[in-house]
Amino acid sequence: MLRHALILALLVAVVAPTLADDSSLTITPTADLRVRQEVLDGVYHWAGSQSDRNWIRVRTRAGFKLDAGEHHGELRLANEHRHYITPDEELDWDEVLVDRFLWRWSPREDLTVTLGRQDIIWPGGFLVLEGHPLDGSRTIFHDGVRLQTEMHGAKVDVAVVHNERRAKLVLLDDAERDLTFGDETGLLARLVRGAWTGSFIVKDLNEAEANEWGDTTPDLRTYTLGGRYAGPAAGLGTLEAEVALQYQDGVVPVRVAPDGETPEHGWAVAGQAFLKRPLPGDLTMELGGFYYSGAGDNLRPFQSPWGSWPKWSELYIYTLLGESTGGRPHVAHWENVVAPRLQLRRPLSERLSARAGATWLLAPEPELISRGVLAQAELKAKLPHDLTGHLLLEWFDPGAFHDGRHGLASFDDPVTFMRWQMSWAF
């Protein structure tokens, strides 16, 4: 831990005087606090009498920004700890780690180079958002270098990243915590021209020693070719559509497959499409669906490069733990699912907005069968003094896919999820 702190101090000592030569140097402190309570009623359905969860999560982040002309630097520390109400567990203050540590150079408006620990989020987060799926929403960073520029009227975004299984630059507490399934190295590239985006991602997941679940993760290389459209839809509203074709080289353990395993090479597919259209009464409708292939019909389970996060549901990501394989907990690991989805949004006032929706989840493999029906309702508030908050309710009624016939723990009673959250940023 001391070694990491000394590295940080040395880097700041080297960079700060260089920036200080510029009379325009400004130093801006940053801080934010997020407090949320989550109540999961029966969601951990495979745990019997321990199927309920109730915890309070507190995330604190603090740091500073340096700006001097065309140079920008950031350092931010983060901690998120949980106070368990159900089950009754001792408080663990968790780690304090470096969540952001970057230098950004912008010599002109159409060129930016970012080096270091940074958040890389592609619009919509379908393929790229979450760098560390095993620590919840505490951190999402990638370690790497990113180039953003413009060429011949198109925006170019290229990055090389290397995310280690266990985070470096942990200043306090447990540096042995798994954040990914193994060391990851990837090349990310996308080209944006108007409403259209083309992307290509190569990602290597390196075999890791036995993790905290007692299993190893085999080598896996994926090549993902994506296409995205976000723009007008012939007078019907606006359309957001994305498709990804993926070639996989390596073993992908699966729970639901005709023979319980997949070949060492093969293809996978994923996609989403949503039409947004205004309705009377200040309503906005979002109608569409999403799809992630499973094992069968000459396809393999889609492995989202960095899209394992609660994009579609906060509740359902925890039920996916019941489909974990080979030491890989499948929380927020979207695969073998297709789902039509409808949402309605409406502003209630200048500071308050609401949304409600329903999603019918199905499993395409080994046969098209219902996973269940998900209902969601949320209120969002923007409060004085830079406070924001929300109240989220989700209800899920499981379908026949969860009746025990597919090698999964059986459950048939509806389950619920509730979360309130307050956030403050300085």
Rounded-to-integer distance, Cα 39 and Cα 392, Å:
11
Q: Which of 369, 365, 318, 373 is nearest to 341 (CA)?
A: 373
Find the farthest-apart pair of alpha carbons in the chain and give their distance in angstroms, rounded.
69
Provide CB contacts within 8 A for 3, sequence distance 6+: none
How do residues 129-187 score in pLDDT, each as one tens digit? 999 888 888 999 999 999 999 999 999 999 999 999 888 888 887 667 788 888 999 99
CB under 8 A, 24+ apart: contacts of 380-387: 380/352, 380/353, 380/354, 380/355, 381/351, 381/352, 382/351, 382/352, 383/351, 385/424, 386/424, 386/425, 386/426, 387/422, 387/423, 387/424
> What is the C-alpha separation between 270 and 243, in angstroms, rounded?
6
pLDDT of res. 219: 87
Q: Please state, in angstroms and rounded to a whole number, the distance separating the CA atoms of residues 220 and 257.
A: 19
Round the average pLDDT of the chain to a whole number and report it.
90
> What value does the mean pLDDT take over residues 223-246?
97
Tell me the Cα Rg of the chain: 22
Structure tokens at 179: 């954040």
Please state whether beta strands 154-163 and 71-86 pair in parallel, antiparallel, or not at all (unpaired).
unpaired
Q: What's the confidence (pLDDT) of residue 179?
A: 84
- Which residue matches tokens 């960079």? 15
> At residue 68, does pLDDT exceed 70?
yes
Question: Which candidate, 109, 80, 84, places its Cα nearest to that of 95?
Answer: 80
| Residue 13, pLDDT above cutoff 50 | no
pLDDT tens readout for residues 175-220? 677 888 889 999 999 999 999 999 999 999 986 665 655 566 788 9
Q: Which pLDDT value is given to residue 168? A: 83
Domain assignments of the chain as residue spans, ordered by start: 2-425
Q: Which CATH architecture has domain 2-425?
A: Beta Barrel (2.40)
Q: What is the pTM of this model?
A: 0.91
Residue 413 CA from chain centroid, whole number: 28
pLDDT at position 10 over 50: no
Average pLDDT over residues 19-41: 87
pLDDT one-digit tens code per residue, 290-301: 999 999 878 999
pLDDT of res. 330: 81
Residue 143, CB half-sphere, CA atoms under 13 Å: how many?
A: 15
pLDDT of residue 176: 76
Query: Where does the pLDDT of residue 2 fall: very low under 50, low under 70, confident under 90, or very high at 90 and above?
Result: very low
